[in-house]
Amino acid sequence: MPSVKQVQVTFDCKDPERVARFWCEVLGYVVPPPPAGFATWDDFALAQPPEDRGAWFACVDPTGAGPRLYFQRVPEDRVVKNRVHLDVRVGTGLVGAERLAALEAECARLVALGAVHVRTLYADDKNESCIPMQDIEGNEFCLD
């Protein structure tokens, strides 16, 4: 059995470019170069049939370490809880008040970008603090 070489995380959404650019800001990702033969993404879009324009967008980790994120347009709204979500690991190695302060600072930055703060889960005997959130189209993720 061959091993997996790469993983791509795919989001269903209404506005792929808008959601991709949001996640670029969250993660420090970048928009990759346009496909071969096109100077810009706008040039690529103009070469597509009108119904396919804006049907997808992607962003990548500039270091190459993280997975590619792919955003595809779908006609239906999200109606149930995500079965999979991203944990944005901003508190790794931190505990207690220091961890909570890092999570809250990142939460404030992301709310300014259009994210929604769902609630703050405070540390208890078993778990450290985390902050469940939603992106600009309601997809769930956690600051961890």
Average pLDDT along the chain: 92
d(CA 56, CA 15): 8
Lowest mean pLDDT: which of 23-32, 33-42, 72-81, 117-126? 72-81
Between the two ends of the chain, the Cα-to-Cα distance in Å is 34
d(CA 58, CA 60): 7
pLDDT digits (tens, 9 = 90+) for 77-121: 777 777 778 999 999 899 999 999 999 999 999 999 999 999 999
CB count within 10 Å of CB 100 equals 19
Strand locations in the chain, DSSP E?
A: 8-13, 56-59, 68-73, 86-88, 116-117, 131-134, 140-143
Predicted model pTM: 0.84
